[in-house]
Structure 1
Amino acid sequence: MNDNIDAETKIIDELIYNINKKKYDKNDRLPSENDLADIYKVPRIVVRKAYERLQEMGYIYSKWGKGRFLKHKHELIDLVLSGDKSFSEKMIKKGYDFLSKNVCFKRIKYNRKIFTELNADAGDKIYKVARLRIIDHIPMALHVSYVSSTTFPNIENFGDKITSMFEYYRNNGYSEFMSSKSILSVSFPTEGEREILKCRSLIPLLILETNSCDAKTKKILEYTKILYRSDHFKYIIK
């Protein structure tokens, strides 16, 4: 069993190495399961699992009865991880076909971490506002913001219409923004995240936890958790 796992890993590693070395062009047909089984002296099922893993990772695609082919590698989007400009503004400025869609607005139950991040009391009303970011018709990021009705008394009336938090803040008298801290981590998507972001299970997500403050008063406006698909962005940290 372990020998098969080791062989599967070796096949994956060597195929990725050859792909990165440009041995194959986009849409090139990769070696058949039989050919690789002969080369590595393993059962076909081992090669099949290796190919299935590569497909989950976004390297290849398959055609029924024809084999596996190298997937076209799209150009990654440069993304500056900063808290002074909105994601919408960054993407529109770059000229992308961009859509921000409000996918969730609701009041949340008490959550110690979120309430602490917002400096909120246990009895405060905290709302979740989630926006799906769609670029060139592909869902690429999910922004989830938490805001207090103490700071924004009209959030109950406008929350389900918000597609840009920064625009909402400007409409409520705040014009300059900053982040006081940011935490980066990497995770594989859950079933729900795969469904909304239309990605496979082995596409890692970059998770950015941060806040947005009014640059003048340092008042915390929101606590945010953002999920970025790693197969569509490269990140610039300033």
Structure 2
Amino acid sequence: MDKELIILDELMQQIIAKKFTYGEKLPSENELADKFRVPRTTIRRVLAKLEERGFIYSQRGVGRFLKEESFQVQLNLNGKTSFTEKMKQSGHPLITRNIGCQKMEYDSQIYQYLHANREDNVYQISRLRYIQEEPIAIHTSYLNETLFPNIAEDGPTIESMFSYYRQLGYKSLTNRDSLLSVTFPTLAEQQLLSCKSMEPLIMIESICLDVETDKVLERTKVLYRSDKFKYKLSER
């Protein structure tokens, strides 16, 4: 096995096993190079990967330090309650910022989910979520203007889609056909979520329906910072 990967794995195991104290300064490049009997350049690449993955941070001229332990939110992935309501029920001080409402270009997959015709206007509404002043998730909703004629005007002020739907008379809502996958952030998503390029994001895609009519209200895509959540997959 590549020596660099062996060193990376050993340091990762030490971090996971809490061999280092959060905020503690790591051994210098020279010390690690001597310990593992490799050139400093090898150690530098290993430490760069640890930093990309969000485990450590560096201070110019001082050294590298283990990041403080991050708070984690338990998130139930059932689709009957909005994210805003879940955070309120769990006591987390959620702040939501609407970061955009715009008409999107034709996308066959999203249009199909929404049962939209090609000539229909579909709007994309994005919200950035914060807990303890840290960005934790990006929620993006896709809505058909045919179903929501005022969405171009209403969209820029919406913070909770479930609340918006209930104002319009949809009282019983649920998410269905959820897909969970892992992805890595784009440059824009890195900036919004304050994360590194190699920090994985949990992506959940689903459709939101009105239970009474089985009408599809939106297609949803949510990007969660994987270091900020623990995921509960069922009610039991």
Tell me whether 1:8 sits opposite 2:17 in the alignment: no
Shift of 1:66: 2.7
Tell me whether 1:193 sits opposite 2:189 in the alignment: yes
SS at match of 2:176: coil
Select 2:118's aligned residue among 122, 125, 136.
122
Report the AA paired with residue 15 of structure 1: L
Tell me whether 1:179 sits opposite 2:175 in the alignment: yes
Q: 2:90 and 2:223 mapped to 1: Cα distance?
A: 20
Select 2:93's aligned residue among 92, 97, 106.
97
2:201 aligned partner = 205
Q: 1:142 and 1:94 mapped to 2: Cα distance?
A: 19
Contact 1:184–1:208 under 8 Å retained in 2: yes
Query: Normalising to structure 1: TM-score of the pair?
Result: 0.94
Report the AA paired with residue 19 of structure 2: K
Q: Which runs of 5+ in 1 are unaligned?
A: none
Q: 1:184 and 1:45 mapped to 2: Cα distance?
A: 38
1:63 aligned partner = 59
Contact 1:37–1:43 under 8 Å retained in 2: yes
Tell me whether 1:134 sits opposite 2:119 in the alignment: no
Identity score, percent: 44
1:110 aligned partner = 106
Shift of 1:177: 1.0
Contact 1:97–1:137 under 8 Å retained in 2: no
* Aligned CA-pair RMSD: 1.3
Shift of 1:114: 0.6
Q: 2:17 and 2:135 mapped to 1: Cα distance?
A: 29
Superposed CA offset, 1:179-223 (max 9, x none) = 220111101111111011111111100111101001111110000
Report the AA paired with residue 161 of structure 1: T
Q: 1:91 and 1:179 mapped to 2: Cα distance?
A: 17
Query: Normalising to structure 2: TM-score of the pair?
Result: 0.95
Select 1:149's aligned residue among 134, 145, 149.
145
Dislocated runs of 4+, deviation >6 Å: none
Report the AA paired with residue 54 of structure 1: L
1:87 aligned partner = 83
Q: Which runs of 5+ in 2 are unaligned?
A: none
